[in-house]
Each structure stands twice: as C-alpha cells, then as structure tokens.
Amino acid sequence: MAVIVKYVVERNGEEKMTFTSKAEADAYDKMLDMADELFSLLGNSEAISDESQREELSLFLAQNREEVLYALGAKRKPSPKPAKKAAPKAEDTTDSDDEAA
C-alpha cells in the first residue's frame, strides 16, 4: 500500500486545485490571493462592470505577475545572456588520399 501526500488549495470551502508539492500549492494559493486583491482593485474602476470579465482579468494579471511588474516598471527584465560562441572546430588534417592507400 502506498501513502500519497496531497496538498489541496481551498477557497471559500471549494477545492480549487490539488498538488503533490507544498511549494507548488503555496505558489498557487499566493497567486489566488493576488487575483482577489486585483479583483477588488478593478472593482474601483468603472471600465469593467461585468464581474466575470473582472474576475477573468484579475486572474490573468495574477498568473502573469512577472510581466505585469515589468510593464509597471517595478521590476527590470533580466538582460539576455550573450550567446556562447562555438569553439573553433579543429580542421581535419588527414588527407582523404592517404586513407585510401
């Protein structure tokens, strides 16, 4: 018999997602916390009056947190690492005629 540990993220008595890693469950729970805060913030705007659209947008923004932080200037994008130059190939010094002989 195997013992399996599962981490369940629950909101308002509703099971949202199940994970096998505590770190993944914590990250998902944190993302849902951000989405809740964004939902409240978006509620202060008259631009999005439809609650389902506001919920969808807040979830999208929370899921794409890094890109949102870059867009707001709160975080800098990591500079691309320079591509490694390929080591020069050693030239083949064998003569094909020598191999045939």
pLDDT digits (tens, 9 = 90+) for 71-80: 998 888 888 8
The single-letter code of the amino acid at 92 is D
Q: At what angle do helices 65-72 and 51-63 cross, to 10 degrees?
A: 90
**87 belongs to a structural domain:** no
- Four-CA torsion 22, 61, 58, 15, nearest 10 degrees: -20
**Number of independent structural domains in the chain:** 1
Exposure class string for 72-91: b at 16+ Cβ within 10 A, else e: eeeeeeeeeeeeeeeeeeee
CA atoms 12, 19, 37, 53: torsion sign? negative
For residue 56, being part of any structural domain is answered with yes
- pLDDT tens track for 20-69: 999 999 999 999 999 999 999 999 988 888 999 999 999 999 999 999 99
Report the amino acid identity of residue 89. K
Structural domain range at position 53: 21-77
pLDDT of residue 22: 94
User: Is residue 86, in this structure, part of any structural domain at all?
Assistant: no
96 assigned to some structural domain: no
Using the predicted structure, report yes or no on whether residue 94 has a pLDDT greater than 70: no
17, pLDDT greater than 80? yes
